[in-house]
Chain A
Amino acid sequence: MLEINCPYCGPRFETEFSYGGEAHIERPKDSENLSDEEWGDYVFMNSNTKGVFLERWVHTSGCRRWFNVARDTVTYEVLAVYETGSKPPKLDLRKDV
């Protein structure tokens, strides 16, 4: 089980959180002028990274706040936790993935 360090409540078990998919996906500004293909791309096409992945989590059973997590999808190691709206911290990336 993952132990995720909620930026507001502190370390808690994974069972208290819900997953929100890939982080930092920007909503297209002129969404009314998008083609179906472009809109579908925004809504459905997420990356499936092997290695460090930036993702969103929400502390459902705790403070109910959203935040971002940098997690290694190979080792499941949580590398960093940072607030929604802030830039991801610089991370030492593993070289073997």
Chain B
Amino acid sequence: MVEAYLRQSPLSQLALPSRAAEETGDAGVLMAERPFRRIVNLRGDPKSEAFQNAAKSVLGAELPLTPNSTTSPNTAAASKDASLLWLGPDEWWAISEDETPPLADKLRDALTGQHAAVTDVGEGYSCIAVSGPNAIDTLAKGCTLDFHDSVFAPGSCAQSDMAKAAVVFRRLEDETPSFEIYVRSSFAEYLWRWIEDAAGEYGVAVSA
């Protein structure tokens, strides 16, 4: 992990905090960067009870087994503040804020001796938050997924491509359509500029 005082977000050169508007007016799309999320990639056999129990003991919630679904700290009976994303039949992301000891270490301790893998991948990603009444229209321009409520309801997640960059989408459980797009740091500026351009016709504001 990078020393905290050396850390720069992948979009720091865009000076987003200075653009953050207090009044977003009638902007159709709000954008923000959510950098420095702790992301742990967890792999293991969901049929193994020992694996499930060990993961639950650290994460505070059951691993989601339904494809493209999430367990967020706001909705599930979770004591810890980690959100769990289904990525594949034996692969999950646990997303949390910084904590000590790191989530990855706790998971690794709990899973000692099991056929499982814990990888800290957070430093390689940034998160772009896109929300607002026209958020779905904007995302639809760059991705083949159907983001309609009936298909990609709040609490859904999916791995796909956005403007040809590999991303993880997550729809938050908010009333206005709110998405988080996790993208590799080296693609973050490209994707930000692409989305901002695509959302131009709806009016874009940078939110804090």
Contacts and interface: CB of A to CB of B under 8 A. Distances in A.
A65 B87 CA distance: 11
Contacts of B160: 12, 16, 61-62
A30 B187 CA distance: 46
Given A61-B159, A62-B160, A63-B89, A15 B68 contact: no
Interface in A2-56: 8-10, 12-13, 15-16
Chain B: number of interface residues, binned into ranges: 10 to 19
Contacts of A12: 144-145, 160
A61 B166 contact: yes
Interface string A50-73: 000000000001111100000000
B161 A9 contact: no
A62 B159 contact: yes
Contacts, number: 35
B91 interface: yes
Contacts of A8: 67, 88-89
B67 A65 contact: no
On chain A, which size bracket covers the interface?
A: 10 to 19
A15 B67 CA distance: 20
Is chain A's binding surface mostly helix, strand, loop or mixed? Answer: loop
A62 B85 CA distance: 13
A10 B161 CA distance: 15
A10 B89 contact: no
A6 B104 CA distance: 30
A10 B145 CA distance: 11
Contacts of A9: 67-68, 88, 158-159
B144 A13 contact: yes
Among A16, A62, A64, the one with the most B-chain Cβ atoms within 10 Å of its Cβ is: A62
Contact of B91 (A10, A13, A15, A63): A63
A63 B166 contact: no
Contacts of B68: 9-10
A15 B160 CA distance: 10
Interface string B139-169: 0000011000000000000111100001000
A63 B144 contact: no
Nearest to B160: A61
A61 B67 contact: no
11 contacts: A8-B88, A8-B89, A9-B88, A9-B158, A12-B145, A13-B144, A16-B144, A16-B160, A62-B158, A63-B89, A63-B91
Nearest 9 A-B pairs (CB), nearest first? A63-B88, A13-B144, A62-B159, A61-B161, A8-B89, A61-B166, A61-B160, A9-B67, A8-B67
Interface of B: 67-68, 87-89, 91, 144-145, 158-161, 166
Interface of A: 8-10, 12-13, 15-16, 61-65
